[in-house]
Each structure stands twice: as structure tokens, then as C-alpha cells.
Structure 1
Amino acid sequence: MTGFRRDGKYAAMAGHDINYIAVSGVLALLGRKNEKPYAPANIMGDFAGGGAMCFMGILLALLAREGSGLGQVVEANMVDGSNYLASMPRLGLRHPIWDRPRGDNLLDGGCPYYDTYETRDGKFMSVGALEPQFFAALLKGLDIDPASLPGPREDRDTWPALADLFTRTFKSKARAEWEAIFDGTDACCTPVLTYPELERGGFDQRPPVTLKGSPGIAIADGENDRPAAEGVGIGIEGDGWVSKGLPPGKDGEEKLAKWMGWIRGRQYDLVDGGLVKMEMGRNPYAKL
């Protein structure tokens, strides 16, 4: 994995996240209207366009190996990875959703009902009331009469006045008051929480993806027949999986069958008291 592409004029240059997303075209999309481009820390290039894309390439190579038996060289770079992740806004440049300058579009801060607003106590609320029914719920929570709006919400000419109205309204109450109003509603209006707040509230960091049959990802137990959307996978007993190791000769074949679906004589064999993996198409062994 590299930052810049391995070919082209930047190949031999040093760089950081901000440089990679700059030459990918992504940085030009990020930022407020009439302000300079704004880099979102090193989330977009390093971790998303780089790490996550490289990880996806590794998974694809592993899947391909299952059919071919051959390994692959996985190559990724943060420029192309970031550009791929920005496919939606990049393609939207040709359509009304993103055809205006930075910060003047539907999802980049230009739309007053998809933005953040400061509250009376200096905190913030986020608003994402794009659909009509969600917008109606937002107005209800804000105690704004739809008839008093400066114009149709779809009319971009009304957006500045609508943004001013929302700005004044949100500043009239503390964030906790707005939370009490909007919690449990379909207004798409939630607090902008900070990590210190989450830590004080006992926020638990969870895996981003869970797999029901895997041994090492469950955080808490769940029922076998519960709907897939509930919980975080049944996993194993307890609140998490901690490897205690397996003593030599203890439950190895059972675990391989349960976790991998492997069978002795097909994927592995017993050699000198230990389990060894059989190479595909040959019989030399590789130690597990």
C-alpha cells in the first residue's frame, strides 16, 4: 500500500493524508461555502482510502484463492482509494445534487435541513431531514408553522433565510432540551456528541461488523433465533471473547471443524502429534 500512486509525477514524492486526498479530487469537495478546502483529519486518506481499501483487496484475494489455489499481490494506494469512496459526490457533479460550488449543495452544508446548528449552551445538534415527512417532524419539534416558512424548502433561493430561521431557533434552547424534544421522533435530529461525553456515559466501543458464527466478535450473548438486525451476534458465553489458547492436542480438530468447516484428510492431517495444513493439489504440509 502506498500513499500516492506508484506511477505518475507524485510517485517518488513524500506525502501525507491531506496530499493524497488533494490530488484525488476529494479535498476540493470538502469545506464550507466561500471557505478553503477542509481536510477531515486523516480519516479519508489513511484509514478509509488506504487501510480499508487495502483490507478489502486482501479479502478479495483470499476469496479468489479459494477457487484458484493461487495467491495474489494486493496493491492499493490512498489516492485511488479516496477517489473511489467519493464516487457518489463525484458522479453527482453532473446532477443537481452536487452541481454547485463547494458548500452550496444538498449534502455538503449548503442545505439548511442537512446541517449542524449551535444550541444556547454552545453545543450542537445535527439535522438530516431530507424527506418531506422527516422535514415535517423537524418543524413540529422546532415549533415552526409550515405556513411561516420563507418559501418552498426545495427552492434553493429560500435556503439562506431558512438557515437563519433554524439558526435562531436552535439557539433558543440548550442541547439537552432539544434532545428531550427530538429523541424518539423521525425528525432526523440528533445531538453532536463528543468522545469525552461518550466516555462519561459509559459508551462501549463495538466491532464495526459482526458475524454470527465467528468465535471472536461477540460482545454480549443473544438468542439464536433473534432477528439478525438485533444485537451484535450470539458469539460465545460472556460479554466478549478472550483467547485462552489451546493446549497441544486439546480440541484442535473440534475447533477447526466448528470455525472453518475443515475435515482431517481434506484440509489438514495429523503429523507427529500435531495438525498440519495440506497444500492444495500437493501433499507437502504447512504447520497450522
Structure 2
Amino acid sequence: MQALKQLKILDFSPLLPGPYATMLMAEMGANVLRVESPTRPDLVKFLEPRIDGASAAYHQLHDKKTTLQLDLKQSRCVGQVKELIRDYDIVVEQFRPGVMARLGLSYEILSEINPEIIYCSITGYGQTGPYRDKAGHDINYLALSGLMDYSRRAGQSPVPLGMQVADVAGGSHHAVMAILAAVIHRQSTGEGQHIDISMTDAAFALNGMSGAAALAGGDQPLAESGWLNGGTFYDYYETSDGRYMAVGSLEPQFQARLLNTLDLEWLADECTDFTQDSQKRVKQALAEVFISQTFDYWCHLFAQTDACVEPVLTFEEAAEHPHMQHRELTRTENGIRQMAMPFRLK
């Protein structure tokens, strides 16, 4: 995949958001040079398991990049960056606001050397605002975004997620979109620009449907109150052996297949009545049926039925699933099994 082979990226970012963004661009052919501190190693490198001295996650993020160790507190190293910038298209940095300026590597300084430079700053709270200098992690950005208040069971606490939604869906993906938009802008104008990515801003934008409705004067989203957060039969159901099935049969044709498969046709009117009482009755009936049989039983039954019902898989099961295998979502790179890119360009 060589769609971005003309781009040269200088990447100063540690941990996940920036490295994930530059990983995506490297996978699309961009030439990424990663500047790494010789005195403050990236903590991702020390996660387990380790292969050849670095974690599997570190290999996933950086194997398609070149690494250069520079101590940016040394003036000669800053000078080396300024020489490199003449030949690079894009800078990605993930320091707190003001750090790159103190090092003498701000957008203003580097754009004097290369006016076409696209400079992407990724932070928790952005380059401006009252939170600009605060520390944070994914759980903090999601908490402030409003997402987690209604992404939970009523009367229960939000659940810490097993993946970094704000970091990746917010920071990384929005950074790539903004950088590529800036590349298109530069092609027509010759101008570079400074991109300000806030992971909190991006997480707030993920409110999408519920947020749009609330801002337009609709109800504020509450836990277990909407179509998608447990307020309807669109939910997870336990099996007799403690596993779960995901039911997403919202449309009439899928509802009909679901109810027919489970011998619950008598619930048809209740399914289409989205009042709280009707949905509670539907959910109770579904829960009683699903817990009567094993996970394997339901997997086999719904494999034959196009009803938007799927098993909740472990990661190992997902990696070995026939669909993931056919789509080649894992690969072996330098002897290490890794996740592959979730898109193709032909």
C-alpha cells in the first residue's frame, strides 16, 4: 500500500495516539522517521510480552518506521532537526503545549525554515483553553466528553474500557484525517499549517447521534434510556455457561427473524413498541430464552440466521474467526504475529 509514499513524516510522539497515527500513514507508504529520546524511553517499549527487547505493542506501532535518537535538550540535536525539516513534509508531536517552543522547535520556528510544513500537535485538551496545561489519560477525556455518563447501566458506575477510545478514535484517527486534509490544502495553495488535535474535543465529537439530539432541544442522554445503550432489547444476553450474545435486531425484518428463531413471535408488537414497559418485557423474555442454552448452541443457531445476532468473542476467538481470517486482519511481520490494517487500497 503506497498511496502516501510521497510524504515524509518526522514523528516526535511517544505512547499511543501519535504513534498510532503515524503507524497508519506508514502502512499507507509514508516515510516516517521517529525521533526518540535517549534518556526518556517510550513506556510502551516495556510492556509485556517483549520480543528482541521491545514489547509486541511497540513493534506493532513502530516496525515500519525508522528511529533516530536525539536529546532535544542539546542545541546540536535541535540544529539537526532544523536541518531535517527542510526535507520533511509533516511533523507530529505530542508534548504538552509550549514544550516544543521551549526546545526551539515550534511551528512558528520550523515554518520559517520550511513554509510548507504541516505540523500536527496532539494533546489531551488542545493548545488553548483552561485545561491546556493539565495532565490526562483516556479515562479522563472520556469522562469529560459526556460519553461515559450514558454508556453504562442505570444505577451503576461506568466501566473502564479495555481500549483507548479517545486516544485512537479521537487522537489518532482525527490526526490522520486532519493531516491528509492539510496535504490536499497544501497541494492547491503551497501553504503548510498547524493542526491542533485535542483528544477531549475528539471524544466529545463522538457523541454523534445522542449529542446532536440533545443540542437540538431533545432529551439529555441518560443511562439505559436510548436505543443503543440498553434502553431497548438491543443489548447483551447471558448464556447458560456464562458467555454473552449481542442482539442488534432493530429493523423489522431482523426482529421477525430473531423472534421466529427463538419461538417468540408473540412478542412482535412489544418489539416495535419502544416504550419503557414494553422493552422491559421483551428484554426479560429474551434473557430467559438465551440463558436456557449454551454459548455454542446459540453460535451455531444464529450462524444460519441473518438477524443481527452475534457472539461476544474473546480477542483470541476474534483473531481466529473465519471472517477475520478471510479479511487478513492479522499478519506476520519480522516473525511477529501482528494486527494488519483494517482497510485496503487497490
Give the corresponding residue for 2:149.
28
Cα deviations across residues 100-133 of structure 1 (Å, max 9, x unaligned)? Answer: 5212211011211x11111112111110011111
Count of aligned pairs: 211
Q: Equivalences for 1:1-288 in 2 at 5 Å?
A: 1-93=122-214, 99-112=220-233, 114-146=234-266, 153-200=273-320, 203=325, 204-205=328-329, 206-212=340-346
- Counterpart Cα distance in 2 of 1:193 and 1:66: 44
RMSD: 2.4
Amino acid in the other structure paired with 1:137: R
Q: CA deviation at 1:97?
A: 9.0
Cα deviations across residues 11-54 of structure 1 (Å, max 9, x unaligned)? Answer: 21111111112222222232112212334334321111111111
Amino acid in the other structure paired with 1:163: K
Unaligned runs of 5+ in 1: 213-288
Whose relative contact order is higher, 1 or 2, with alpha carbons under 8 Å and at least 6 apart?
2
TM-score using structure 2 length: 0.56
Unaligned runs of 5+ in 2: 1-121, 330-339
Q: Answer whether contact 2:141 2:200 (CA < 8 A) is retained.
A: yes
Equivalent position SS for 2:245: strand
Percent of residue pairs bearing the same amino acid type: 34
Cα deviations across residues 127-177 of structure 1 (Å, max 9, x unaligned)? Answer: 001111110100011121326876753332211222111111001111221
- Counterpart Cα distance in 2 of 1:74 and 1:95: 29
Structure exhibiting the larger radius of gyration computed from Cα positions:
1
Q: Answer whether contact 1:24 1:83 (CA < 8 A) is retained.
A: yes
- Counterpart Cα distance in 2 of 1:41 and 1:32: 17
Aligned in 2, Cα 1:145/1:39: closer, same or farther, shift over 3 Å? same
TM-score using structure 1 length: 0.66
Equivalent position SS for 2:310: strand
Cα deviations across residues 64-115 of structure 1 (Å, max 9, x unaligned)? Answer: 1111122222220101111112222211336899655212211011211x11
- Counterpart Cα distance in 1 of 2:257 and 2:269: 14
Q: CA deviation at 1:200?
A: 4.9
**Whose strand proportion is higher, 1 or 2?**
2
Q: Answer whether contact 2:211 2:221 (CA < 8 A) is retained.
A: no
Q: CA deviation at 1:183?
A: 1.6
Equivalent position SS for 1:76: strand
- Counterpart Cα distance in 2 of 1:19 and 1:147: 41
Aligned in 2, Cα 1:208/1:98: closer, same or farther, shift over 3 Å? farther
Give the corresponding residue for 1:221.
none
